[in-house]
Structure 1
Amino acid sequence: MSNSISKGFKTSEIISIVISLLILALAVLNSAMQIGLFNIPTVTFSVLAIFASSLVLWLFVAIDWPSILCLICLGFLPEVTYGQIFQQSFGNTTFVFLFFTFLVTHALEQTSFLKRVSAWAINSAWAQVSPWRFVFAFLSVMLLISTFVSPTILFMIAFPIYEEVMTQFGLEKGDKQASKLLVALYASIAIGTAMTPINHVFAITAMGLYETAYGTAITNGQYMSFAVPAGLTIFLILLVSLKWIWRMDLSNVKLGEIASLSDLPKADKKEKAVVSIFSGVVALWLLPEVLGFILPGVAAFLKSAGIAFPPMIGSLVLAVVHVDGKPLVKLQEGISKGVFWPSLLIVAATLTLGSFLSNPDMGVITLIESFLTPLLVGLSPLLMVLVFILWAALQTNFSSNLVTVSVVTTIVITIAGSQVDLPINVAVVASLIGFMASLAYMTPPAMPYIAISIGSGWTTAKDALLYGFYLLLWSAASAVLVGYTLGSVFLSQLS
């Protein structure tokens, strides 16, 4: 990797990088050994070293990735948390998380990796045995990829493959079987989106609203501990429904390899490097849960660093590592093409709005308390959870997902912060609202992929509405019975 890095920099830049690293190494040695160089307090020396090394890099190398390195180094100072750094630099941890995650995912999307994974599943000997195995492989691989890729971007990759599958099956526009499979395709992508917060703004926004209100973060691992089982339950119901309830008829279809996935070039050095880095980012997200008993110190650091730390590290590595003289990601290009700014803007507005709505001085708490208390008193915990889940489910299928997250989550948190004694785990409910906001099945305003599907002629608004509503009811049931039940156990330490 060091050879790859050196090929992308001029000699003067390499010298500057070495000088910068030596300054940082001196600060680490001074801190670890408590040497007290120049009779300067250790923390003061460390701050000055970070400033000096950053200045060298800014003046003689670049301003983008050295800035990320500067933020990372500041997080290692004693009594300093990454939450404080994000608050003072970008304003909010959730904003930072999405920004850097967009960058890391953009690098992955520029490779053939996603198509390669699809080809591995669809063109496999196992999938070619029968039409139902083929459909299972197709939907399963889309479910898997959607757990870490934006749903709209994935659908734009999957839709041409779907059309090629329809040609292979001998199905035409207007065919009921083609319509059912298209609904199942985008439903699978929606379910995978709900299962993890990785690169998925809906769940992250809900978790961010909870953290803003309670000062406690919900980790990716905690979210996935109940969201993955709930999502897999919905996916299983989808598969069962597709065959035995919707009665999709595949008796006359012909199987064969998908041509567009058969001639992919071999993975080059750039793709392998990008996939490795992306895998490392995902691993860092999940390690705090795994290392809790093995390496408690490392787990504690990763937890305190928060969810924005791994993609920030990943973005730095992608910008620094060069293959064939070019960086894996040019930050300026990644920021302009890979970062979805409208999502970041609404997240910023949502989190700020949520903090004001939950502020007792604003009077909203009192108003909501007086209106909703008579309605909530006497309801069982599961019924109360069901009310909020159904609310989020229906609203997200007729309006903006992020607006749904903002409104429903904020109201739940606001009620919980009032005098109303809610007998529910607010952390789990908030997370499940983000979960349900990902499950857009029914109408064009819900998600772009539904509008594209209906507009393509392969399905109709009626089919999307009917099949989508059917799935939505099962999704709400799974969120309550599976998601909330497991979440209440795994997140019992949270309120």
Structure 2
Amino acid sequence: MSKSPAPERLNHLPEAAMQSSFSTVRAYLHVIVFFALTLGTGFLPPPGITEMGMNILGVFLGLLYGWSFIGFAWPSMICLVALGFTGYAEPAAIIASAFSHPAVLFTIFVLAFTTYCDKSGINAVMAKWFLSRNIFAGHPWIFTASVLVGTLLISFLVDGVPTVFLISGILYSIFDDIGLKRGDAYPAWLLAGVCIAGVLSFACKPWAGQNLMGIGTLAEVSGGTAVIENITVIAVALPVCIATLIVYTLIVRFIFRPDVSTLAHLTREYLAGIRNGIEMGRAQRIAATALAVFLILMFLPNILPSGSPAAAFFSKFSMTVAITLILGVLSFIRVDGKPAFDFHACSSGINWNVIWMLAASIPVSAAMSSDGAGLSRMLTELLHSFASGGNIILFLAVFMIFVNVMTQFTHNVTIVLIAVPLIWNLSQSAGINPVGFSILMFLAAGAAFATPAASTVGALSFANGEWIGMKRAFQAGILGCIGGIVCMLVLGLPLVMALVGI
């Protein structure tokens, strides 16, 4: 005789079925809205722009909606094809231009390279070295600031996501050893700060995220006349991001005021134990050398005397060329009888959502800023009315705050792709330096972490309910962003004015 289902299970079945049905209906509604925006916007009367511009605007709006509510991969595919039927260019040419763009190729290779660095163990070596300095013994706030700055620097050298997980894992062990528990205030603020440092690391890298796309877009819309040097981005962003983390540490110390008495157990002997766990073998030394060579190839063209034979030679090593050469050399170097770099093994680190997002954003951004669309001209005239009516520094400050706030709710690449063509057109009419303006905008877009939607790395803070909690994640994110904006205006703006001008 078969058993009848338990009453409590029967009670849950309708609720589960309803939730599943609701999720399905909501997913289909998002798909309907996506196609309506992508394919239907062109049928609306154009408000001062061309018919082609309306079709392109529909593709752009559909892309934003798809990224926000559906995903990155298939909405990007559909929008790439749809762009080919707007009158801007042929579909095959658009797809070819998207995936042959240096930014897309470089991102594929650099994601594989950062996965290699993580697998080699060099990330763990750097993390343990940073977290085991003797100066931390008896100085809890030096320890706090150093952990955050160390996370920023390691994430800058490799990748933010594995670094945040790695640093957090080491901190969990430290917390358990010295008696700090889940739910305690100090671990929550420190772990939230680690996530913030991971977010800020992307703002410092010319070869990642919104910086990579923004630099390429500015070069394209300006016809190569406005070029942002890698070293200039780092010279502005790195000091601002370090200052932001120091300000965050001060906020935690003097506003949140967690109990740090337990950190007295962080003795020199304990820190020496962490250092003893550092293993720097052949695999780690090779990875460290590869990382150093990559950074040298990025910086040398900007440091060597302009016009010298050495500068001419090293200028051939673009980011894509440099990373391709490094991966090629690593592939024939042997460690324990195997290649140091195994592309198949490291391909697991290639995030295809990121690749499709970049591939779709490049031609859509170019189409949005094209003369035939008329979109940039209309928006530039609107911005020019604000820029010409008052102090230019005040306008820049307000624009940076606006970009930062908008990035809290949408992807920073999206904001950059909209803003860069506007900045270029505005610079032609208002006399603003597009290079300096763009660097400030990249920084504002990259320093957003006040909401879960602002950043993938920042969202890790909101997802860590066990140690951080939603309330503390929001508090840390909001106050940290306010501190970051202050640092951008007080430090970033003068640095840009000194290096490239406004």
Instruction: Write the deviation string for residues 366-392 of structure 1: whole angstroms up to 9, x where unpaired.
Output: 321343333332132212212321122
1:35 aligned partner:
none
Structure 1 counterpart of 2:218, from 201, 210, 216: 210
Structure 2 counterpart of 1:474, from 457, 468, 483: 483
2:345 aligned partner:
333
1:463 aligned partner:
472
CA distance 1:352–1:221, change in 2 (3 Å): same
* Counterpart secondary structure, 1:462: helix
Is 1:443–2:456 an aligned residue pair?
no
Aligned AA (1:291) = L
Instruction: Write the deviation string for residues 300-321 of structure 1: whole angstroms up to 9, x where unpaired.
Output: 3333543322212211111222
* Counterpart secondary structure, 1:207: helix
Aligned AA (2:102) = T
> Post-superposition shift, 1:279?
0.8
TM-score calculated relative to the size of structure 1: 0.74
1:390 aligned partner:
401
1:178 aligned partner:
187
2:120 aligned partner:
111
% identical equivalent positions: 20
Between the aligned partners of 1:449 and 1:159, the Cα distance in structure 2 is 13
Q: Which moved more, 1:251-260 or 1:271-280?
A: 251-260
* Counterpart secondary structure, 1:362: coil
Between the aligned partners of 1:362 and 1:405, the Cα distance in structure 2 is 19
Q: Is the 8 A contact 1:391 1:408 kept in 2?
A: no
Q: Is the 8 A contact 2:198 2:458 kept in 1?
A: no
| Mapping 1:255-404, distance limit 5 Å | 255=266, 257=270, 261=274, 264=277, 266-292=279-305, 296-334=308-346, 336-404=347-415
Between the aligned partners of 2:135 and 2:349, the Cα distance in structure 1 is 35
Q: Is the 8 A contact 1:388 1:408 kept in 2?
A: no
How much is the aligned-residue C-alpha RMSD, in angstroms?
2.7
1:61 aligned partner:
none
Give the length in aligned residue pairs.
401
Between the aligned partners of 2:141 and 2:259, the Cα distance in structure 1 is 10
1:219 aligned partner:
229
CA distance 1:374–1:133, change in 2 (3 Å): closer
Between the aligned partners of 1:258 and 1:161, the Cα distance in structure 2 is 12
CA distance 1:170–1:285, change in 2 (3 Å): same
Aligned AA (1:192) = S
Q: Which runs of 5+ in 1 are unaligned?
A: 1-86
Between the aligned partners of 1:331 and 1:210, the Cα distance in structure 2 is 32
> Post-superposition shift, 1:259?
10
> Post-superposition shift, 1:286?
0.9
* Counterpart secondary structure, 1:379: coil
Aligned AA (1:153) = P
> Post-superposition shift, 1:89?
11
Is 1:431–2:439 an aligned residue pair?
yes
Q: Is the 8 A contact 2:204 2:238 kept in 1?
A: yes
1:133 aligned partner:
142
1:453 aligned partner:
461
Instruction: Write the deviation string for residues 49-94 of structure 1: whole angstroms up to 9, x where unpaired.
Output: xxxxxxxxxxxxxxxxxxxxxxxxxxxxxxxxxxxxxx98952222
Aligned AA (2:294) = V
Is 1:123–2:136 an aligned residue pair?
no
* Counterpart secondary structure, 1:266: coil
Instruction: Write the deviation string for residues 22-44 of structure 1: whole angstroms up to 9, x where unpaired.
Output: xxxxxxxxxxxxxxxxxxxxxxx
Is 1:190–2:199 an aligned residue pair?
yes
> Post-superposition shift, 1:187?
1.8
**Runs of 4+ off more than 4 Å:** 87-90, 258-263
> Post-superposition shift, 1:107?
1.6
Q: Which runs of 5+ in 2 are unaligned?
A: 1-95
